[in-house]
C-alpha cells in the first residue's frame, strides 16, 4: 500500500526517538521541514501521529520533546530530591557546579540573618539526565567544616550537625534563562517550576535557604489535601506582586 508522506516521516521519527532519554528536545518543526524536504503542515501531522503513540509531547514555549512519566514529588514531608527520585525507581546523581564562601546577597542576608554564607550550586540528575538546578545557602559558620566533596555526595540535611524542624516551600512558574537552560538541557524560554525553600531548626531559626529549578515537563508536585470547609479557593494561594 502506498504510504502518505507524513506517515513515512512519522515512522522515521518513531525509530529515531523511540529509545531517546525522556525530556530530550526534538529539532524544531522548521528544522525538520528542511531536513525532510516537507512542508510544516506535513511535519506537524507526522508529529501528531507520533504523539498519539505516547512517544512525544509538546508544550507552548518549549517545543516537542520525548515524553515519559514525570518525576512526582510529595510535599507532605520534609525530604530531599534524591529520595524522591529514588522512590520512583530512578538513579539519582548530583554534580556540584559552584562551591564558595562569600558575602551574602541582600535577599539571602534578610532571610538567613547573616553576612557570610556558603553557597553551593548543583545539578541533580535522574537516570543520567539533568532534572533540577539547586542553589543552597547556609550560614558560613554552619558550613565551615564542609567540602565540595561532602556536598556532592550527601544532602545538606545529613551533613549539618543540627536537628531540623521542618521547611516552608513556595512554588511558582518561570521561564528558562540561558544559564539554567544550558544546565537543564532545555531551550531558552522553556517553562520552569521555581521553588524556594527555607528550612528551620527547632528554635525556628532559618538555617538553609534553597532555590530549586525544575524543567516543568519532567516534574509534578503532589500534596494530599485533608477534608476542610468547602471552598473554591486553593489552600495557600498568594498573589504575586
What is the Cα–Cα distance from 226 to 97, expressed in whole angstroms? Answer: 40
pTM: 0.71
| Boundaries of every domain in the chain | 5-66, 71-222
Residues 6 or more apart whose CB falls under 8 angstroms from that of 188 comprise: 176, 177, 178, 181
Residues 6+ apart with CB under 8 A from 109: 115
Select from 3.40.50.300, 3.40.50.1980, 3.90.440.10, 1.10.10.10 the CATH code of 5-66.
Answer: 1.10.10.10
The answer to whether 194 and 212 have CB atoms below 8 angstroms apart is yes
The fold of 71-222 is: Chorismate lyase (3.40.1410)
Please give the chain's pLDDT, 241 residues, in tens.
456 899 999 999 999 888 777 777 888 899 999 999 999 999 999 999 998 888 888 877 678 888 876 666 665 665 667 776 776 677 778 899 999 999 999 999 999 999 999 999 999 888 888 889 999 999 999 999 999 999 988 888 888 888 888 888 888 888 888 899 899 888 788 888 899 999 998 898 999 999 999 888 777 777 776 665 655 555 565 555 5
Amino acid at each position: 500500500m502506498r504510504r502518505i508522506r507524513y506517515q513515512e516521516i512519522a515512522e522515521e521519527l518513531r525509530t529515531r526517538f523511540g529509545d531517546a532519554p525522556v525530556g530530550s528536545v526534538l529539532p524544531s518543526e522548521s528544522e525538520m521541514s528542511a531536513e525532510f524536504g516537507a512542508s510544516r503542515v506535513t511535519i506537524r501531522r507526522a508529529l501528531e501521529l507520533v504523539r498519539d503513540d505516547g512517544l512525544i509531547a509538546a508544550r507552548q514555549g518549549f517545543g516537542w520533546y520525548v515524553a515519559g512519566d514525570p518525576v512526582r514529588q510529595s510535599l507532605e514531608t520534609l525530604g530531599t530530591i534524591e529520595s524522591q527520585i529514588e522512590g520512583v525507581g530512578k538513579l539519582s546523581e548530583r554534580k556540584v557546579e559552584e562551591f564558595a564562601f562569600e558575602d551574602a546577597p541582600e535577599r539571602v542576608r534578610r532571610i538567613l540573618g547573616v553576612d557570610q554564607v556558603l553557597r553551593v550550586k548543583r545539578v541533580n540528575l535522574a537516570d543520567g539526565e539533568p532534572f533540577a538546578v539547586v542553589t543552597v545557602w547556609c550560614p558560613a559558620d554552619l558550613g565551615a567544616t564542609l567540602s565540595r566533596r561532602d556536598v556532592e555526595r550527601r544532602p545538606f540535611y545529613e551533613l549539618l550537625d543540627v536537628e531540623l524542624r521542618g521547611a516552608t516551600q513556595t512554588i511558582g512558574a518561570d521561564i528558562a534563562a540561558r544559564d539554567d537552560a544550558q544546565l537543564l538541557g532545555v531551550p531558552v524560554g522553556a517553562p520552569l517550576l521555581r521553588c524556594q525553600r527555607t528550612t528551620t531548626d527547632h528554635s525556628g531559626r532559618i538555617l538553609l535557604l534553597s532555590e530549586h529549578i525544575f524543567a516543568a515537563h519532567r516534574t509534578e508536585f503532589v500534596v494530599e489535601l485533608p477534608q476542610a470547609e468547602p471552598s473554591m479557593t486553593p489552600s495557600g494561594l498568594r498573589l504575586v506582586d
